[in-house]
Amino acid sequence: MRDALLMLLAGLAASAVGLWAWHRYHFRSFWLIVGFPLVAVTVRATWRKVALGCGLTKKRQRWWFTAVPGAIASTGLVKVRRRFQRVAVDTKPFMWLPLPTRHGWRVTVHTLEGQIPADYAQAAERLAHSWGVHAVRVSSPRPGRVVLAATVRDPLVRLDHIPASGELLTVHVGRLETGGLWTIDFRTVPHWINAGATQSGKSNLANALFVGLAPQPVALVGIDLKGGVEFTPYAPRLSALATTRTESVTLLDDLMAVMADRMGLCRTAGARNIWQLPPGVRPLPVVVLVDELAELYLMADKSEKDEIAHTSTALLRIAQLGRAFGIYLFLSGQRIGSDLGPGVTALRAQCSGRICHRVNDPETATMTLGDLDPAALVSARAIPAETPGVAIVAHQDGQWYRARSFHVSEQTAEHTARHWSRLTPAWAEIAQPGRATGFDEAALSDLLSA
Ligand SMILES: Nc1ncnc2c1ncn2[C@@H]1O[C@H](COP(=O)(O)OP(=O)(O)OP(=O)(O)O)[C@@H](O)[C@H]1O
């Protein structure tokens, strides 16, 4: 008997250790086979209580049945004394079966009359606490349906390695909280704002972007108003680098000339943008990386006014027209606010790509993320300092996500710059009007008619 008990205890201990090791070393299979089925049953079984607690139920008139007439049964609101009575009961939204995801589970819910997805988004934090998960995100694939995606544990605490990006002007810079890739695709979203307090991970993101773009046939240009400390390591792969405001003015003038040149090229070829040009005459896309954007706008005395106005107009024109002519902006800074002048506000309006790292004040989050869901602003302010690189991202699918960039050290960026330096086009080749593609009108006509 004692032996049997000992055997049983030993068996239980071995199973517990086995389960722990399984959970620890292969969470994915553990989650699918053990964790998820238990969670799915619990979520379905407790949905009425959870929905009621989170304010997602509606009162509906129902015929209520009591097995013992005369006894007092309570629905929580109405005391029922008869066998059948029409009473107001709390109705929960219909919930489908939960489905497992890489980092948790998701479930589709039918909204009740008068409910909108925002009602569920407001209750997301309550739902997360009720279910004991890291976060619940709400999306609505079609009217009347809401998908609640629960993340069991924060997938952004530890990230794997940066995967290679396949397509031109597309870079996988990190991971979204859903476990999916965080992708910056300049052809879909041409201009980006990358804001955040100091040490929040802005430069790391620029490194990740640079490492992804370096092997691609693109011209990279840097404007580094931190005196060049951030982008000088990229120099072998940069076609041009400006480290002062005066140099920036010249560089931006060159970029305007490139844009005018490309406009002429497209006009001659009857194309609306450079992507409609035949590959032989299509100019190289140019990505302009800017660090410390605010420095371009700060005025120490009145003598700088004209220079600032000039820079501001050039950047704004590039933001307005650059997309069609293959010139893209990635603007980083601690504050990109209206206090820097109307030029910044107008520039911000042209940048549909928004990335907000940890910020110190609510205004910066509001300025960066604009009129995105208020929950995004709350999330941006809640990013802890211990997780640099975590940001709120307005994604290409129209939703916002928490995301984290892959860690790319300065040494890696430097090595990449040297490795791909042979792909660096000389700035003179790009910047001289009429020579952006080496085209002349006759050669272009020949190419187009071929
Ligand atoms: N995704 C990440 N994963 C891990 N560590 C990161 C990540 N992003 C940034 N870090 C680390 O956080 C620190 C600050 O990052 P970074 O220099 O990019 O911040 P920053 O916002 O550019 O700061 P500053 O404005 O002061 O230059 C660095 O030590 C960097 O290695």
Torsion angle, CA of 29/31/36/37, rounded to 10 degrees? 50
Residues 274 and 404 in one domain: yes
112: domain CATH number is 3.30.980.40
pLDDT at position 130 over 90: yes
* pLDDT tens column, 65-120: 665 555 555 555 555 555 666 778 889 999 999 999 878 899 999 999 999 998 99
pLDDT at position 204 over 90: yes
235, part of any domain: yes
Residues 148 and 177 in one domain: no
312, part of any domain: yes
Dihedrals phi, psi of 446, to nearest 5 degrees: -60, -45
| Binding residue ranges for ATP | 196-203
| Pocket lining: 405 vs ligand 1, CB cutoff 6 Å | yes
What is the pLDDT averaged over residues 124-148?
91
Q: Count of domains in the chain?
A: 2
Of residues 245 and 221, more confidently modeled:
221
What is the pLDDT averaged over residues 278-282?
85
Q: Which atom of ligand 1 is nearest to the CA of 409?
A: 31
Of residues 342 and 312, more confidently modeled:
312
* pLDDT tens column, 162-203: 777 778 999 999 988 877 889 999 999 999 999 999 999 999
Of residues 301 and 390, more confidently modeled:
390
- Residue 392, burial from CB neighbour count under 10 angstroms (0-12, 13-18, 19+): buried
Of 102-111, 234-243, 341-350, least confident by mean pLDDT is 341-350
| Pocket lining: 204 vs ligand 1, CB cutoff 6 Å | yes
- Planar angle of CA 169, 171, 177, nearest 5 degrees: 140
The pLDDT score that the predictor gives to residue 207 is 93
What is the pLDDT averaged over residues 233-260?
92
| CA atoms of 22 and 382, how far apart (whole Å) | 32
434, part of any domain: yes
Residues 413 and 301 in one domain: yes
Residues 99 and 248 in one domain: no
* pTM attached to this predicted model: 0.77
Domain boundary among 100, 123, 153: 153
Residues 237 and 344 in one domain: yes
Query: Residue 428 — pLDDT band, cuts 50, 70, 90?
Result: confident
Residues 130 and 263 in one domain: no
100, part of any domain: yes
The pLDDT score that the predictor gives to residue 77 is 57
The pLDDT > 90 percentage for the chain reads 47
Query: Residue 235 — pLDDT band, cuts 50, 70, 90?
Result: very high
The pLDDT score that the predictor gives to residue 437 is 46
Query: Residue 320 — pLDDT band, cuts 50, 70, 90?
Result: very high
| Pocket lining: 200 vs ligand 1, CB cutoff 6 Å | yes
Domain boundary among 106, 121, 153: 153
Residues 145 and 257 in one domain: no
| CA atoms of 118 and 138, how far apart (whole Å) | 8
Dihedrals phi, psi of 73, to nearest 5 degrees: -105, 145
Of residues 411 and 76, more confidently modeled:
411
Of 108-122, 221-235, 434-448, least confident by mean pLDDT is 434-448
Residue written as token pair 């032989």: 280
Residues 134 and 226 in one domain: no
Q: Which amino acid is at 112?
A: L
Residues 262 and 146 in one domain: no
| CA atoms of 120 and 144, how far apart (whole Å) | 12
List the one residue out of 179, 93, 195 whose CA is nearest residue 135: 179
Of residues 234 and 446, more confidently modeled:
234
| CA atoms of 71 and 77, how far apart (whole Å) | 15
Mind giving me the DSSP string for 341-357?
A: -HHHHHHHHH--EEEEE
ipTM over 0.90: yes
Nearest CA to ligand 1 atom 4: 407
| Pocket lining: 389 vs ligand 1, CB cutoff 6 Å | yes
201 Cα–ligand 1 center, Å:
3
Query: Residue 326 — pLDDT band, cuts 50, 70, 90?
Result: very high
The pLDDT > 70 percentage for the chain reads 89
Take residue 62 and report the two structure tokens written for it. 């129902």
The pLDDT score that the predictor gives to residue 178 is 78
Q: Which atom of ligand 1 is nearest to the CA of 390?
A: 1
369: domain CATH number is 3.40.50.300
pLDDT at position 435 over 70: no
Of 229-233, 339-343, 419-423, least confident by mean pLDDT is 339-343
Pairing state between β 99-101 and 79-80: unpaired
Domain region containing 441: 170-449
| Pocket lining: 201 vs ligand 1, CB cutoff 6 Å | yes
The pLDDT score that the predictor gives to residue 441 is 53
Q: Which atom of ligand 1 is nearest to the CA of 159?
A: 3
Q: Which atom of ligand 1 is nearest to the CA of 207?
A: 18
Are 149 and 106 in contact by the 8 Å Cβ rule? The answer is yes
Nearest CA to ligand 1 atom 7: 389
Are 427 and 239 in contact by the 8 Å Cβ rule? The answer is yes
7, part of any domain: no
59, part of any domain: no
List the one residue out of 188, 220, 194 whose CA is nearest residue 331: 194
| CB-CB neighbours of 166 under 10 Å | 8
Nearest CA to ligand 1 atom 11: 388
| Pocket lining: 388 vs ligand 1, CB cutoff 6 Å | yes
Alpha helices by DSSP H, 197-341: 202-213, 245-269, 305-321
32, part of any domain: no
Q: Which atom of ligand 1 is nearest to the CA of 197?
A: 21
Return mean pLDDT, the chain.
85
Residues 143 and 190 in one domain: no
| Pocket lining: 198 vs ligand 1, CB cutoff 6 Å | yes
55, part of any domain: no
Residues 144 and 211 in one domain: no
| Pocket lining: 104 vs ligand 1, CB cutoff 6 Å | no
Residues 272 and 400 in one domain: yes
